Amino acid sequence: MNPKVDHDLCIGCGVCSDVCPDVFEMGDDGLAHVKADANCEAAGCCQQAADECPTEAISL
Ligand code: F3S
């Protein structure tokens, strides 16, 4: 899986970084970013983060 955050859709709610902090982090711009060393398979929470994002900004 190759997680991506669409910054045109992200509203910075922070759900993804709460649900899946090994993969997503909040940036200084107030939007979610995929961590450089993100590993969806190891983290096991990317799908949940994508499902719970209110604006469907996360693609996998
Ligand atoms: Fe943004 Fe969705 Fe995360 S709105 S902060 S990508 S849960």
- Rg (C-alpha) for the chain, rounded Å, is 10
**CA distances for 40 relative to 13, 23, 58, angstroms:** 20, 7, 12
**CA distances for 49 relative to 2, 4, 55, angstroms:** 13, 11, 11
Ligand 1 neighbour 5 (Cβ under 6 A) = yes
Kindly give the number of the ligand 1 atom that is closest to the alpha carbon of 15. 7
pLDDT of residue 9 exceeding 90: yes
pTM higher than 0.85 for the full model? Answer: yes
Question: How far, in Å, is the centroid of ligand 1 from the Cα of 24?
Answer: 9
Question: How far, in Å, is the centroid of ligand 1 from the Cα of 42?
Answer: 20
pLDDT in tens, 11-52: 999 999 999 999 999 999 999 999 999 999 999 999 999 999
Instruction: Give the architecture-level CATH label for domain 4-59.
Output: 2-Layer Sandwich (3.30)
Q: Distance between CA 9 and CA 40 in Å, rounded?
A: 21
Domain locations in the chain? 4-59
